[in-house]
Structure 1
Amino acid sequence: MAEADPNFGGERTDETTAGRRPLRKRLLTYVAGAVLIGGVGFGAWYALVGSHYVSTDNAYVGADTASVTPMVAAQVAAVAVADTQAVRKGDTLVRLDDSDARIALAQAEADLAKVRRQYGQTSATSAALAAQVQARNADIARARAQLVSAEADYERARVDLARRQRLAPNGAVSGEELTAATNSFSSARANLELARAGIAQASSTRGAAAGELAANDALISGTTAATAPEVLAAQARLAQARLDLERTVIRAPIDGVITRRNVQVGQRVAPGAQLMLIVPVGQLYVDANFKEGQLAKVKIGQAVTLKSDLYGGDVEYHGKVVGLSGGTGSSFALIPAQNATGNWIKVVQRLPVRVALDPKELQAHPLRVGLSMDAEIDISRN
């Protein structure tokens, strides 16, 4: 039995302590019950709802930007846009000095006209060469007739000379007659050789004319003034000159917003130099970087709910998974991590997941490249 304390009332204190013990036990029981109920509730929520979603706040807006570059070298004559300006496909962005392009176009047009005339001249030459071949045939026929005549004269002179040579020993033919007959025979023989040479020359001339005709016909055979190779080549150069002239006006390839404009009037630009970028704000996507342990059930086509820091939780975007990257960001770094040194600490890796956004929602609440997003994937649907 406890001793009484005249100053503090010891017996009453023991009774109070004994009374508080059941209260403390009940409170601990309530707390344990609440924790148990909370754990069961969380487990039930995770089993029914939470396990069906994976989320991350490591997500950013991206876009396939269009790079505006010139196709010809020229001096910048005018710049029609500025940074942050919205443009439509086909709008004029930059005008280049087209003086050189116009001169090149005029030269190409002149070259085409010249080639067409040359083709016409070649066609006319074929007709002239064909006439020359016919003329050479006539020359051959005339040479052959002369050969027949020369052969007849030669035979007559030979017979006449032979007769006088037989009569000369008897004195029936004077020496003068014999000399004249000999000279006539020699002249007839020379004329015969000349006639034979004339046939050979006429045949050679005809062969040369036929060769020229064949060579000329080879240039135009199977072609017309529209299909000749020289004409087609000149037409191609003309088309290139026209294209170069058109390219002095640089137009927007897509709808979007101008960014990183770095071109000024008077600057001379070269083909391929980047003048500006166009961001297609109506065709944005989100790259959500999920931890590797969250990706086991992520599939292409799953629904994604997103929120932007720009608008807060009041605005939700709805998209779908369209692809998973082929590797983590660190694996494609300029200097990839090397874990073979022995000083290795495991770091949880993240893999970019591409999420396509609804164009109508983007139009209602525009986003910009690089903005932060929260992404939640519904993995309950495969």
Structure 2
Amino acid sequence: MADIDPQISVAAAQDATARRAKRKRAFLVFGCVLAAVAVGAGLYAWIEGGRYVDTDNAYVAAEVAQVTPLVAGPVRRVAVNDTEVVHKGDVLVELDQTDAKIALAAAEADYADALRKVRQTIATGHALAAQVGERDADIARMTAQVQVATADLQRAQVDLRRRQSLVADGAVSGEELTTARNAFAQAQGQLAAARASLAQAQAARGTANGQENANAALIEGTVPETNPQVLAAKARLDKARVDLGRTIIRAPVSGVITQRNVQVGQSVAVGAVLMTVVPIGQAHVDANFKESQLTHVRPGQSVELVSDLYGDDIVYHGRVEGFSGGTGSALAVIPAQNATGNWIKVVQRLPVRISLDPHELGAHPLRIGLSMTATIDTRAHQPGRGAN
């Protein structure tokens, strides 16, 4: 075997030493990087820990508007179908107007008749006032007749007394005395008749006054247009006009038609649900967060949402509007009962209402019931950040 060159042995040893030093430096750099990442991750978790809470248990919702008729009648025309987009005020359904038009004509006739009767009552008041004046004139005439009859009676009484005093002297015949007595009796009768006529005239005036007062009570302080009877007829007329207008059923809000269940010729009743309008431009999200996630969640915080419909490329921005008054299980039709049997604690979820940006909704419409992923930024309400 040939001897190994000492120079080659030294070079190999130096090369091995260099490789070991290089590996040591690589491990040292890797350790430093790993330590820096760990420190950075720990620092981020310490600063941002608990800032974001998210859930994929979130769904699109909206305050849907049910279309119901306010008057009954047969359906003449249905102007929309399911999935159609409508605007507020668009015609949805038309009911037959025959009965409503007849009712309107009858109400118009009743209103005109009420006006006529009130005007007649006013005219009757003027006539009754004239009758009261006539009764006053009758009373004045009867009063004068009573005075004349009283004077005639006094004259007849004086004449009778004079003749009675002359009978003993024979200056007055029996016939003259009888005539005087008859004249006195006649004067008494005329006075009694005059007084009876006066009493009758006074009673007639009282009756006329009562009729005038009763008639005045019907129209006091009003003109024909403000009379209660006319106002009641006017109210019935206005209702008939409103009912005629209600035979045209319009969209209460802008949105999409769904659950249409009305057909032409169908007779609908007041309050029957004909269809539903979903206002997709006013949609919001009900996100069900775990109770342990809501420690720092407050109304007004910003939220980022992603819909399964559009994927991660479309991000919606919203804000926390408020919290439900109870958990989903507590508000269920049949709430869970944990008073008996084995009990296992289950983390509850509380619905959180989140509003959406209407401009983003207009660009990428959503439908109620679609799944969403919601992430709330709670930074503004972290302890020590100065927010409540």
Q: TM-score, normalised by structure 2?
A: 0.87
- The answer for unaligned runs of 5 or more in structure 2 is 1-29, 382-388
Equivalent residue number for residue 139 of structure 1: 138
Q: Please report the RMSD computed on the Cα atoms of aligned residues, expressed in angstroms.
A: 2.1
Task: Please identify, of 339-348 and 292-301, the stretch whose mean Cα deviation from structure 2 is larger.
Answer: 339-348
After superposition, the C-alpha distances for 1:96-147 in whole angstroms (9 at most, x for unaligned) are 0111111111111111111111111111111111111111111111111111
Residues 252-267 of structure 1: pairs in structure 2 closer than 5 A: 252-267=251-266
- CA–CA distance in structure 2, aligned partners of residues 343 and 33 of structure 1: 53
* Matched AA of 1:149: V
- 1:332 counterpart SS class: coil
Residues 278-317 of structure 1: pairs in structure 2 closer than 5 A: 278-317=277-316
Pick closer, same or farther for the CA change 1:291–1:39 going to 2, 3 Å.
farther
Equivalent residue number for residue 373 of structure 2: 374
1:41 to partner: Cα distance: 5.5
Pick closer, same or farther for the CA change 1:354–1:311 going to 2, 3 Å.
same
1:35 to partner: Cα distance: 9.2
Equivalent residue number for residue 361 of structure 2: 362
Equivalent residue number for residue 338 of structure 1: 337
- CA–CA distance in structure 1, aligned partners of residues 369 and 49 of structure 2: 29
- 1:180 counterpart SS class: helix
1:166 to partner: Cα distance: 2.1
Matched, 1:179 2:187: no
Residues 315-334 of structure 1: pairs in structure 2 closer than 5 A: 315-334=314-333
Pick closer, same or farther for the CA change 1:352–1:45 going to 2, 3 Å.
same
Equivalent residue number for residue 56 of structure 1: 55
* Matched AA of 1:320: R
1:174 to partner: Cα distance: 2.3
1:89 to partner: Cα distance: 0.7
1:171 to partner: Cα distance: 3.1
- CA–CA distance in structure 1, aligned partners of residues 201 and 161 of structure 2: 33
* Matched AA of 1:85: E
- CA–CA distance in structure 1, aligned partners of residues 40 and 58 of structure 2: 30
* Matched AA of 1:374: T
* Matched AA of 1:371: L
Equivalent residue number for residue 128 of structure 1: 127
1:36 to partner: Cα distance: 7.9
Equivalent residue number for residue 238 of structure 1: 237
After superposition, the C-alpha distances for 1:183-236 in whole angstroms (9 at most, x for unaligned) are 111111011111111111111111111111111112112111221111111111
- CA–CA distance in structure 2, aligned partners of residues 209 and 131 of structure 1: 9
1:269 to partner: Cα distance: 1.1
- 1:237 counterpart SS class: helix
- CA–CA distance in structure 2, aligned partners of residues 32 and 336 of structure 1: 56
Equivalent residue number for residue 106 of structure 1: 105
- CA–CA distance in structure 2, aligned partners of residues 155 and 161 of structure 1: 10
1:34 to partner: Cα distance: 10
Structure 1 stretches of at least 4 aligned residues deviating more than 4 Å after TM superposition: 31-42
- CA–CA distance in structure 2, aligned partners of residues 352 and 58 of structure 1: 10
- 1:286 counterpart SS class: strand
- CA–CA distance in structure 2, aligned partners of residues 305 and 148 of structure 1: 108
Task: Please identify, of 60-69 and 47-56, the stretch whose mean Cα deviation from structure 2 is larger.
Answer: 47-56
After superposition, the C-alpha distances for 1:331-365 in whole angstroms (9 at most, x for unaligned) are 11122122221421100000011111111111111
- CA–CA distance in structure 2, aligned partners of residues 160 and 124 of structure 1: 54
- CA–CA distance in structure 2, aligned partners of residues 124 and 294 of structure 1: 81
After superposition, the C-alpha distances for 1:67-93 in whole angstroms (9 at most, x for unaligned) are 111001111111110011100111000
Equivalent residue number for residue 19 of structure 1: none
- CA–CA distance in structure 2, aligned partners of residues 81 and 179 of structure 1: 111
- CA–CA distance in structure 2, aligned partners of residues 374 and 43 of structure 1: 26
Equivalent residue number for residue 86 of structure 2: 87
1:33 to partner: Cα distance: 10
- CA–CA distance in structure 1, aligned partners of residues 109 and 233 of structure 2: 9
Task: Please identify, of 47-56 and 342-351, the stretch whose mean Cα deviation from structure 2 is larger.
Answer: 47-56
Q: Alignment identity in percent?
A: 61
Q: TM-score, normalised by structure 1?
A: 0.88
- CA–CA distance in structure 1, aligned partners of residues 45 and 324 of structure 2: 28
- CA–CA distance in structure 1, aligned partners of residues 309 and 46 of structure 2: 32
Matched, 1:217 2:216: yes
| Equivalences, count | 354
